[in-house]
Amino acid sequence: MAISTAAPRRRIRESAGDRLFMFAIYAILSLVLIAVLYPLIYIVSSSISSPSAVTSGKVWLWPVDVSFRGFETIFKTPQIMTGYGNSLFYMSAGTVISVTLTIMLAYPLSRKTFFGRSAILMLVTFTMLFSGGLIPTYLVVKEMGLIDSRWALLIPNAIWVWQVIIARSFFQSTIPEELVEASEIDGCSDWRFLWSVVLPLSKPIVAVLVLMYAVGQWNAYFDALIYLKSDKLYPLQLVLRSIIIQNNSAGVMDPSIQVQRAEMAELLKYSLIVVATLPVLIIYPFVQRYFVQGMLVGSVKG
Amino acid sequence: MERRGFRERALKSFKAHWQLYLLVLPPLLFFLIFKYYPMANAVLAFKDFNVIKGIWGSPWVGLKHFNAFFENPIFWTLLQNTLLLSLFLLLAGFPIPILLALMLNEVRSARFKKFVQLVTFAPYFISTVVMVSIIMLFLAPRLGFANVALQYFGFDPINFLGEPGMFRTIYVTSDIWQTAGYAAVIYLAALAGIDPTLYEAAKVDGASRLQKIIHVDLPGILPTITIILILNVGNVMSLGFEKIYLLQNSLNLPSSEVIATYVYSIGLLNANYSFATAVGLFNSVINLVLLVTVNTLAKRLSNTSIW
């Protein structure tokens, strides 16, 4: 067995060159770790430091004069809270719609007896290679009367072709044709088979689809930018853009704290980044494997 | 295939699996309405859009908008900016995930390997808006971390985002920071799939670690590298609009205006629909041609292709 022979062999002393090589690899990877972690830690530390410590550049790594003023302001600002609520809605509604439509398309495409599946598959994948472009798509959405409505963020980009491809190859590799045939002999309909046999067997892929669509919806801003006009429909990302990137903190500030307004505006940016990203980053370590799985299922058969 | 057999098979399939066809209907409608209908609407590029008459009633103008675009001096700036940014992204962004995966593959401590993967993958989940916010906070002219550090060491502060010459570096560096860990996953999986006997043979031959990487690892993941390269080259013209748009300001515009952002500002902000559609169509067509060319080349040279 490979395992029993590999163990003693590994004990053969490595040459000096190899050890130096390994040292270099560990050193480089440690630098990579620092380069990725440092900005993240810096932002979290700044977000819980005092406003004056942030603006005077006293924060280097750890928080200085710990305070939660930034977060307090965020939770008292209606504009941000509305954005948060909207984003939660877009994320949950969008994910349900997208996952349902993706499975409705991917499952029949995985069945060998489904006549015309290669034609449909081509029709679907071609949209990855070519598109009508921004303006023609915008005009279609406008024609459908979706401009400035919540539906504009849920429907026009509901199905990602990539997700259809990975779901289809998952179904193809996990649902054996014999199972389908057996169910047909027992008089089980296609819907019932999908609902009570395929879906229970496909929990991993459903998890992948749910997570990818959910994160995608939470992070998206472009559709909201072009299709929405009223502030009350804005998702969190657009609110962030207005406050951090366009520097519009006027509406956010409580007039009573005008004195420290500039300092507070700076601090608020860090706190906002944390508030907007934390939900995703907290669940991420637990769901990372699903994302990896999703990428790999898709790469098996593209 | 014989015609009657074809028809019979279709009918039989419809009868037996009408439920499946019903399932496919809504998603198909989605693709027809939101993907194919816009493709048909792209004829707008050859017309002068008239709000009252609509797209199909508007008068034909042939290649007027394309000519106007090619004759406009901004055409060369846009093309250059789009291509240069993509090229930098490809040159710097493509090899780094491969190197990262090769290095991670050498690490024997499973814990360290897992931790590095976990951390480097994480920035992928940061939204574009937050990513750009982070860049702006770090590079802010006065209070930004980079300038505070510069001043600390006695240098003059730099308005990084206001320098057209810095734009591409900022874009590419932050992109690598955000996606290298994610992109490395595919290569790591490919590395895990290499036949272990090859390593045994290399060891027996007395190969050093570096030699093993060059002669076993790299050839082993070459098909994966080729496919990812095709996909990346194919996307050269469909440069992500979202991040560039957010990073743009009036100062860095000379190097940050690319075709996608131009289409947005001309089309949606100035409501010049026909002209913007023509510019967008030009972009889509070049992109398609590029993808097909690269794929054909790869098929000829190495028998690897995406279709």
The string of pLDDT tens digits covering residues B152-185 is 888 888 888 888 888 999 999 999 999 999 889 8
From A196-205, A242-251, A268-277, the region with the lowest mean pLDDT: A242-251
What is residue A26's predicted lDDT score, i.e. its pLDDT?
94
A290–chain B nearest CA distance, Å: 12
B6 touches chain A (CB under 8 A): no
Q: What is the pLDDT confidence band of residue A256, given thresholds at 50, 70 and 90?
A: low
**What percent of chain A lies above the pLDDT cut of 90?**
37
Whether residue B154 lies within 8 A of chain A, CB to CB, comes out as no
**What is the pTM assigned to this prediction?**
0.86
> Cα angle at B296 between B293 and B301, to 5 degrees?
120
Q: Is the pLDDT of residue A166 over 50?
A: yes
The C-alpha atoms of residue B86 and residue B82 are separated, in whole angstroms, by: 6
pLDDT band of residue A1 (cuts 50, 70, 90) is: very low
Query: Within an 8 Å CB–CB cutoff, is residue B8 touching chain A?
Result: no
Tell me whether 0.95 is exceeded by the ipTM: no
Asked whether residue A54 carries a pLDDT value surpassing 60, the answer given is: yes
Q: Rounded CA gap, A231 and A229, in Å? A: 7
Cβ atoms of A155 and B34 closer than 8 Å: yes
CA B120 from chain center: how many Å?
Answer: 19
Hey, are the CB atoms on B14 and A129 less than 8 Å from each other?
no
B129 has a chain A CB within 8 A of its CB:
yes
Specify the DSSP class assigned to residue A14.
P
- Cα distance between residue A29 and residue A27, in whole Å: 6
What's the pLDDT at B202?
87
With a cut of 80, say whether residue A280 has pLDDT above it: yes
pLDDT in the model for residue A154: 95
Closest Cα of chain B to A291: distance in Å?
9
Specify whether the CB–CB gap between B247 and B171 falls below 8 A.
yes
Q: What is the pLDDT of residue A234?
A: 93
User: What are A139-148's pLDDT values in tens digits?
Assistant: 999 999 999 9
Facing B284 at nearest CB: one of A42, A133, A288: A133
Question: What domains are defined for chain A?
Answer: 2-69 (no CATH), 78-251 (1.10.3720.10)
Residues of A in contact with B24 (CB under 8 A): 104-105, 108-109, 120
Count of A-B CB contacts under 8 Å: 258
Say yes or no for a CB contact (<8 Å) between A245 and B129: yes
Which of B65, B125, B289 is the best substitution to test chain A (most A C-beta atoms within 10 A)?
B125
CA atoms lying within 13 Å on the CB side of residue B179: 16
Q: What percent of chain A has pLDDT over 70?
A: 89
Residue numbers in A near B44 (CB within 8 A): 135-136, 139
Low-confidence ranges of chain B (pLDDT < 50): 1-2
Per-chain mean pLDDT for chain A: 84
Give the pLDDT confidence score for residue A251 in this predicted structure: 57
Q: What is the pLDDT of residues B261-271, one digit of tens each?
A: 889 888 888 88
- Check whether A3 has a pLDDT greater than 80: no
Cα angle A174, A178, A179; round to 5: 65
Question: Residue B136: how many CA atoms within 13 Å on its side-chain side?
Answer: 23
> Which residues in chain A touch residue B287, judged by CB atoms under 8 angstroms apart?
129-130
How many angstroms away from the CA of B178 is the closest CA of chain A?
8
Q: How confident is the model at residue A51 (pLDDT cuts 50, 70, 90)?
A: confident
Compare A158 and A11 and report the one with higher pLDDT.
Answer: A158
- According to the model, what pLDDT value does residue B300 have? 80
